[in-house]
Every structure is written in structure tokens, then in C-alpha cells.
Structure 1
Amino acid sequence: MTPFKDLAVTDHAPQSAVSDDLAAAFQIEGWPVRGRLVRLGATIDKILAAHAYPEPVAALLGEACALAALIGSSLKFDGRLMVQAQGDGPVRYVVADYGTDGTLRGYCRYDEAEVAEASQGFARPGAQTLLGQGVFVMTLDRGPDFERTQGITPIEGESLSLCAEHYFQQSEQVPTKVRLAVGEVLTEAGSQWRAGGAMIQIIAGDEARGSTEEVWDRTRALFGTLGDDELIDPTISPETLLFRLFHEDGVRLEGARALTAVCRCSRDRIASVLASFDPAERADMVEDDGKIRVTCEYCATVYALEPDEVVAEQI
């Protein structure tokens, strides 16, 4: 991957105190367009480094996490957004789980041999090559007092960004453009994963700001110049990135929210799940040393519990 640590920033734009692991909205002055930007550094590196994913699988999960933060950070309620895709390809399942408190987690299920075979001849196989025929799903969870709501569309194209664009067009009839980028960068600490995402949408019912079609065409043209390397370059601040795209028209970043990798697993949660199994099933899970071991699919933490401890914790 391209090392970015020696790049210099030559553009000039106001800088905020937080420039990494964030999700924020941006507004182009006087335009009927809204946008969002996500930058992930240590957060995505922690999520991807928890497993020995093949590079294409890690990149796919990075896309899903960036997309979940990009869309989830716009929610106006306390809850969770889950972005997932599943199909009949080498990657069976990818999911990213965003909490409106800024927490993020994710994981993939895949067949390593099939991923290696599908990767032949590709610099990096994309979403449809990895997932095959399947569905892209977004789920909103507002908590125990509300039913979950879910939108489903077919997997289309070699990027989850295309799946998201199709989802918004089909489910909300909102013209949307999404860019996602994932890669490794060289730092003083070694190679680390980074991810970034950006999204623009027409503001429905805001024609008073001008010709929606003309402005949308211009915004898309400028947005199309955004490079993957710019989205993940740690030397380019969010403000500088937006300044490069829209400085002629005026753009401001607002409502930046910090993001962090947090898994919701715990010893008590694992014990509760094990307690729901039939005693005979739990007995089959006991290993030679007398303990039951469960590995969290998200963060790879291994929990070792005594069979009696499982029952005792649920009384």
C-alpha cells in the first residue's frame, strides 16, 4: 500500500481540534445539498487487526464500517444502525454495527481458500466478486420499545458504496453519491489500516436555494474528483479535504462526532447465552480442562467459563 507519512499538506483551510476517527456533516453554502464525512484511523485498525483477515476481506469490512458510521451518524435517535451484506460468494457475511454514541464494531465470515481463488487476477476483488449473489441490508434498532426496521436491496457493483446509492434511490428516492476507501498506511508504529467515506445527497423540498438539477450535476462533478488516497491520507485534515473540493463555493464542517471501536460483548452476556442452551448441549461444549470457551465473533475475545459458573450467574 502507498505510504502517506511523507506527504505534505499545501492547501489552507480552518482546522478543528479533532481530525481523525470522526463523523461529521458538511454544508456547501447556499446549495440544496447535504453531505457527511467519515475518517477512521485507530478505530478501524483495531477492528480489522482483531482477526487475521485476508487483505480483500479486511478491505470489505473496512468499507462496511465506514458506511455504517457515515449513515448512522446522521440518525436523530439513540440506537444502532447495522449495515450488512450476505451472499453465496467467498465472503458469506459482512456486518458493521454502529451505535449512536459513536461506537463501532464489525466482522466477516468467509472461506479462506475461496477468497484466495477469487483474488487471482485482481489487485483487490470488490464486493460482488467476494459476496456473489446476495442482498445488502440496513437495519435500524431504536431500542427494546420499538420494532426494528429493515431495508433490503440486491448486491450491485464492486463497492458497498454502489449498494448504498441503490438503497437510497430505491427506498427513499433520494439522489445520493457515496465514496468509500480502505487501505494500509505506513506510520512510525508500522503498517496500520485506515478507512474513509463521504456522502452527498439532495435536500428534499429545498428547491428555493436554486436549480436542484444544475447544482446536483455540479456537486457530483466535484465530488467525483475525490481520490481514495485523499480519504485515507492521515496528513490531510477533514477541513482541507472539503476545502479542496468546494472552496470556490464555501463549505463548512459541523457537528463532528468522535468514533471508537467498542464491542458490547461481556462475560455476563456470554454466560446468559450459554444458560439458554439445554444442559446436555452445554455438557458437549465442555473442553478437556473442564471449561466452556466462547470466542466473540466481533473482537475475538475468548471467554473461559466453568459450567457451574454459567448456571450460578443466571440465578
Structure 2
Amino acid sequence: MTNPKDTAVTDHAPHNAVSDDLAAAFQIEGWPVRGRLVRLGAAIDKILAAHAYPEPVAALLGEACALAALIGSSLKFDGRLMVQAQGDGPVRYVVADYGTDGTLRGYCRYDADEVAEVSKGFARPGAQTLLGKGVFVMTLDRGADFERTQGITPIEGESLSLCAEHYFEQSEQVPTKVRLAVGSVQTASGAQWRAGGAMIQIIAGDTTRGSTEEVWDRTRALFGTLADDELIDPTISPETLLFRLFHEDGVRLEDAKALTAVCRCSKDRIAAVLASFDPAERADMVEDDGQIRVTCEYCATVYELTPDEVVAEQI
């Protein structure tokens, strides 16, 4: 895809612009505010279609994936960002895993009957209804040579965007606003899941561009006009979306990065995990045809291994 740098935004996207499955930064001219935008099409559809999620659960996972890409795409090191939320509600656990190479995966663990029960009377139950009392967690993984760093805050509000805003307020002391949207649209190939996200933050210490408080109030007001359908509409380019919000002041789209749905599972990884089990435990996993079958929680790929293949991993 193209990777525009310092691209001035107009009401029309460039002819060769890519509008889907991307994360990009944007800068409002002369303002001490930075922003990021995420648009997900085929990538989020692949993640959500891998499981027969109820609509509210799929929407929650879509939010988590958009949020992980939104925040993770700003990282300046090679590694991973994991956005997680877990509680005592119908959805026990939701996780989105973003790699700084632009790869994304995610899954939910839930009780279908409980989700159906709490969904009665709701157009779409939100995060707190689905997750109940619990915690929102962001984990940074810089690789084997570094310890993981983790920030934890309580789940607050009916959107993961509110959880993220609370996290930045408590952990980073950075004024932040986040919008997330997930929905299904009709395409020539049928219904397809889409997701989008946008985030704005004050640039800490930037007092050279005028009153931070006044600018932040104005930016929040403009940002508040952003509608969910605009974030997921495939006919609205990122450039057009930003132009609608900030055209009076000028806005620049920067460093767009492609996003893809990629799971890191493999037969070798599964064999290595099975090899860590006690031999008696592995023996209980063998089915009548002599195979051990393991389903990846993320992508739902089913791996078949013989006990000899697992033992070979230990040699």
C-alpha cells in the first residue's frame, strides 16, 4: 500500500489511497494535539468470522481489535501490544493482540446463554454489561530480552473506548478521547464486518501553540461530531473523514500502516505446548483414531498430531 508522509488532507482521497485495513497518525495544523485513525475491513471480518460469535460478542471483540491497532500502531519499537478485558459477566475474557508489523488477532471467551439473557431489551449490550465487574489491561511485550509491562484499570462504561480513556487518565496522565465503532455492512459478497477507531491526545509540554485548554476543548467538540457510521463506512476514505472534522484548521495524514489478520499459531507451536504436559495428561488427549486434536482459540484452526510427533518435539 502507499505510505503517505505529511499528506495534506482534502475532501477527496488521492487516486492511489488505501482506505481499508490501515492505521495512520494525523496532525491538526498548529495545534498541540495528535491523533490516530484505524479502519478495518477484510482483516476484522476474518477475525470475527472465524467463530460463530453472537452479535454483541463480535462487536466487543471488534472494538478490542480496533483499539489495539489504534494504540499499538504508535509504538516505536518492535513487539506486541495486547488489549484485554476480563470480568465476571457473560463474556469472561476478550483479548486483541497487535504486532508492530501490522498483524492483528483476537478472540472472546463467553457463555452463550448468559449473553442471550443480558441482550434482552438492548439493541446491543455494551462492555460493562457483557464483562461485568472486572479489569481492563494493556500489556506491552518488547520481546524475550525485556520484561513485559502492564497497566490495569477497572472496567468503566459501556464501551472499551471509555476504558481506554480512563486508562490514559490514570496511567499516563494524558488527556485522551477515543471513539470505536463496529458493524456489519452489505457488500457484493454478502454481509461483512467492519470496525473503525479514532483517538486524539494533547501533546504533553507543547505550550508554543497557544492555550492547551482552549485548543483541547475545541478539538473535543469537533471530535464529538464523529459518528459511528462514518468510522465504518467503506465509501468514506480516511482523508474525507478527517477533512469533515478538521478542514477549517487543516489536518495532515501521516505514516499509514497496513493491517492484516494473522494468527501466530502453527503445528510446531502446538506440539511444543503439548510436549510440556505430563505424559499421562497427553495420553488422555488421544482420541479413538490415535490423533490429538487442538483448536486454536484465535483463528479456530484445528491441528492434528500423533503422540509420536509430540514426543519428537522433546528430543
The two structures have a TM-score, normalised by structure 2, of 0.96
User: Pairwise CA RMSD of aligned residues?
Assistant: 4.5
- Cα offset for 1:19? 1.2
State whether residues 21 and 39 of structure 2, in contact with CA within 8 Å, keep that contact through their aligned partners in structure 1.
Answer: yes
Residues 270-289 of structure 1: CA deviation (Å, up to 9, x unaligned): 00000010100000000011
Change (3 A) 1:172 1:86: same
Question: 1:291 deviation in Å?
Answer: 0.5
Task: Output the CA distance in 2 between the equivalents of 1:260 and 1:113.
Answer: 32
Cα distance per residue 1:203-224 (max 9 Å; x no partner): 0000111110000000000000
1:160-199 to structure 2, matched below 5 A, reads 160-199=160-199
Task: Note the alpha carbon deviations across 1:101-124, whole angstroms, 9 max, x for none.
Answer: 000000000000000000000000
Q: CA separation in 1, counterparts of 2:308 and 2:209?
A: 66
Q: Distance in 2 between matches of 1:305 and 1:98?
A: 28
CA distance 1:130–1:5, shift in 2 (3 Å):
farther
In structure 2, runs of 5+ residues without a counterpart are none
Counterpart CA distance in 2 for 1:15 and 1:200 is 27
Kindly indicate whether the alpha-carbon contact (under 8 Å) linking 1:138 and 1:150 is maintained by their aligned counterparts in 2: yes
Displacement of 1:18 after TM fit?
Answer: 1.6
Cα distance between partner residues in 2 of 1:141 and 1:3: 25
Spell out, residue by residue over 1:72-102, the C-alpha distance to the aligned partner (whole angstroms, 9 max, x if none): 0000000000000000000000000000000
Q: Is the 8 A contact 1:3 1:186 kept in 2?
A: no
The Cα of 1:14 is off from its aligned counterpart by 4.5
Structure 2: distance between partners of 1:196 and 1:67 = 9
Distance 1:9 1:111, change over 3 A: farther
Task: Give, in whole Å, the separation in 1 of the partners of 2:100 and 2:2.
Answer: 32
For the Cα contact (< 8 Å) 2:85–2:155, is it kept in 1? yes
CA separation of 1:78 and 1:192: change in aligned 2, threshold 3 A: same
Judging changes above 3 Å, is the alpha-carbon distance between structure 1 residues 132 and 5 closer, same or farther for their aligned structure 2 residues? farther
Deviation at 1:312, TM superposition (A): 1.3
Q: Secondary structure of the equivalent of 1:216? A: helix
Change (3 A) 1:175 1:7: closer
How far apart, in 2, do the equivalents of 1:4 and 1:204 lie?
25
Q: Find the aligned partners of 1:105 and 1:314 in 2 and give their Cα distance.
A: 28
Provide, for residues 233-277 of structure 1, a one-character-per-residue CA deviation record: whole Å limited to 9, x for no partner: 000000000000000000010000000000000000000000010
What is the Cα deviation at residue 12 of structure 1? 3.5
Determine if contact 1:39/1:195 at 8 Å carries over to the other structure: yes
**d(CA) in 2 for partners of 1:287, 1:24:** 48
Q: Is the 8 A contact 1:2 1:185 kept in 2?
A: no
| CA displacement at 1:302 relative to structure 2 | 0.2
| Cα distance in structure 2, aligned partners of 1:10 and 1:146 | 42
Render the CA deviation track for 1:179-225: whole Å, top value 9, x for unaligned: 00000000000000000000000000001111100000000000000
* Deviation, structure 1 residue 7: 25
Note the 1:69-84 alignment, pairs <5 A: 69-84=69-84
Question: 1:150/1:54 Cα in 2 relative to 1: closer, same or farther (>3 Å)?
Answer: same
